[in-house]
């Protein structure tokens, strides 16, 4: 088995990691983070489960990372994403696992955000010899496919020079953040067409590495069950068309499963057989963090309203110290991620070379 240095992986090593996932029938959770608490919790959870992991940030998450007080929203989205990446570059190797660094959805109006991160990433690459991010998502799935692919190709050319990848999306993942409500869904759009995937491969593969978020009925967020049917066989059909057309080995696409929160376990397992190496998880880990903090606050309510407990007369500093209650959020998030590593079968499969102290 190929082993990698612990820390942020990119370029050839990223491809090695993806191949290990696909060969081993497992996937990595891609967890959205919004600050050091969630970022560190993801690395701690990965280390605890001896799994590699993907840390990703949305444009809104990046803005929050930089601080809501910064006036220029665009600058904050860029600065926050750089700041998060530097945080992970600094710490990941100390957790003894491999981390993929990724930015989440960027639709047409957010392409300038990706372009600026690529430009800033170029400075970082010249300084350190490493890209700032392993990959950026370019999500033009709401645009006509020709525009989606030509823009993706343009950005991939830039990214590939810095040993970076991109993730694209074909078909629309349903859910609140996409303006696709779970009640009235245009079903065709929720299922990616194998011919569209093939067109993407033929244009992008000669330029550089891309991963593909294909829609198979997946939805962002957690809704009442029954509205949308997950059909992982859609992924299988896309893989088989490409295998046949280009005489390639099994599962040539590197597939991404968006909207992993709340999905049926059997459908997750089936998706792993069809070349899914990355499953996005955000809603469930957000809830876990909030739930962990919420339970603690409820149990220690006096400490959140009084510096001296009115019932006992004792100082409450030990309860309201942010290191105590934020830690409860981290711990609950880690517990939810234990489940994700198990569902995705990545626990115990880190490629990272063990550190001497292990
Ligand atoms: Zn998504």
**Per-residue confidence (pLDDT) for residue 181, from 0 to 100:** 47
Catalytic residue from among 23, 72, 104, 358 = 104
The structure tokens 């800033």 sit at 120
pLDDT for the residue numbered 188: 63
Cα(257) to ligand 1 centroid in Å equals 8
Look-up of token digits 């499963």: 257
Check: CB of residue 254 under 8 Å from CB of residue 211. yes
Ligand 1 midpoint to CA 303 (Å): 38
Assigned token pair, 310: 């009115």
Across the strands, what pairs with 214?
A: 170
| Two structure tokens written together for 296 | 């603690």
Cα–Cα dist 180/183, whole Å: 8
DSSP string spanning 14-41?
Answer: HHHHHHHHHHHT--EEEEE--SHHHHHH
Cβ-contact 214, 197 below 8 angstroms: yes
Q: What is the pLDDT of residue 41?
A: 98
- Cα of 50 vs centre of ligand 1, distance in Å, is 25
Neighbours of ion ligand 1 (CB under 5 A): 258
CA of 126 to the centre of ligand 1 (A): 31
Helix and strand numbers, DSSP H then E, in the chain: 12, 11
Are 311 and 302 in contact by the 8 Å Cβ rule? The answer is yes
Residues forming beta bridges with residue 280, ordered by sequence position? 30
pLDDT per residue rounded down to tens, the chain (358 residues):
789 999 999 999 999 999 999 999 999 999 999 999 999 999 999 999 999 999 999 999 999 999 999 999 999 999 999 999 999 999 999 999 999 999 999 999 999 999 999 999 999 999 999 999 999 999 999 999 999 999 999 999 999 999 999 999 998 776 655 555 444 455 566 788 999 999 999 999 999 999 999 888 888 877 665 556 788 888 999 999 999 999 999 999 999 998 877 788 888 899 999 999 999 999 999 999 999 999 999 999 999 999 999 999 999 999 999 999 999 999 999 999 999 999 999 999 999 999 776 5
String of DSSP letters for 216-244: BS-EES---TTSS---THHHHHHHHHHHH
Residue written as token pair 């593909």? 212
Contact 282, 261 (CB under 8 A): yes
Domain residue ranges of the chain, discontinuous segments joined by +: 7-283
CB-neighbour burial class of residue 297 (10 A; exposed 0-12, middle 13-18, buried 19+): middle
| pLDDT value, residue 89 | 98
* Residues 221 and 175: beta-carbon distance below 8 Å: yes
Per-residue DSSP letter, 162: T
Give the pair of three-digit tokens for residue 119. Answer: 């430009």
172 alpha carbon to ligand 1 midpoint, in Å?
9
Cα 178 to averaged position of ligand 1 atoms, centre (Å): 9
The pLDDT score that the predictor gives to residue 355 is 77
Torsion of CA 141, 147, 151, 152, to 10 degrees: 40
The rounded Å distance from CA 62 to ligand 1 centre is: 16
Q: Please check whether the domain covering 7-283 is classified as CATH 3.40.50.720.
A: no
The rounded Å distance from CA 75 to ligand 1 centre is: 23
Q: What is the pLDDT of residue 227?
A: 59
Q: Which of 181, 283, 268 is nearest to 232 (CA)?
A: 268
Spatial distance between the Cα atoms of 32 and 61, rounded to a whole number of angstroms: 8
Q: Give 220 Cα–ligand 1 centroid separation in angstroms.
A: 6
Q: Tell how far the Cα of 128 is from the centroid of ligand 1, in angstroms.
A: 30
Annotation says 75 is catalytic? no
Show the tokens assigned to 65. Answer: 């990372």
């Amino acid at each position: 088995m190929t082993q990698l240095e612990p820390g942020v992986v990119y370029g050839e090593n990223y491809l090695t990691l993806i191949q290990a996932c696909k060969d081993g029938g497992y996937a990595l959770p891609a967890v959205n983070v919004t600050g050091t608490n969630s970022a560190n919790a993801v690395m701690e959870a990965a280390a605890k489960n001896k799994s590699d992991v993907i840390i990703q940030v949305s444009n809104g998450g990046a803005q929050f990372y930089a601080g809501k007080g910064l006036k220029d929203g665009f600058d904050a989205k860029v600065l926050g994403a750089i700041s998060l990446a530097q945080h992970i570059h600094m710490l990941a190797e100390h957790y003894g696992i491999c981390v993929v660094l990724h930015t989440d959805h960027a639709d047409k109006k957010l392409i300038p955000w990706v372009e600026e991160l690529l430009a800033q990433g170029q400075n970082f690459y010249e300084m350190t010899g490493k890209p700032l991010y392993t990959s950026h998502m370019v999500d033009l799935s709401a645009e006509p496919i020709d525009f989606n692919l030509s823009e993706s190709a343009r950005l991939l050319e830039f990214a590939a020079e810095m040993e970076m990848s991109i993730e694209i999306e074909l078909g629309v993942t349903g859910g609140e953040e996409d303006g696709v409500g779970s009640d009235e869904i245009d079903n065709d759009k929720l299922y990616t067409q194998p011919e569209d995937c093939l067109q993407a491969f033929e244009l992008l593969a000669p330029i550089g590495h891309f991963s593909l978020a294909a829609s198979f009925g997946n939805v962002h967020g957690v809704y009442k069950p029954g509205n949308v049917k997950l059909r992982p066989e859609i992924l299988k059909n896309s893989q088989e068309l490409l295998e046949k057309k280009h005489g390639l080995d099994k599962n040539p696409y590197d597939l991404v499963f968006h909207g992993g929160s709340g999905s049926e376990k059997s459908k997750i397992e089936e998706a792993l057989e069809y070349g899914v190496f990355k499953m996005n998880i955000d809603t469930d880990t957000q809830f876990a963090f909030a739930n962990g903090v919420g339970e603690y606050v409820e149990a220690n309510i006096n400490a959140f309203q009084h510096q001296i407990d009115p019932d006992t007369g004792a100082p409450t500093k030990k309860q309201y110290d942010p290191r105590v209650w934020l830690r409860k959020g981290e711990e609950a998030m880690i517990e939810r991620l234990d489940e994700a590593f198990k569902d995705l079968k990545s626990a115990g499969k880190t490629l990272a070379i063990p550190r001497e102290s292990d």
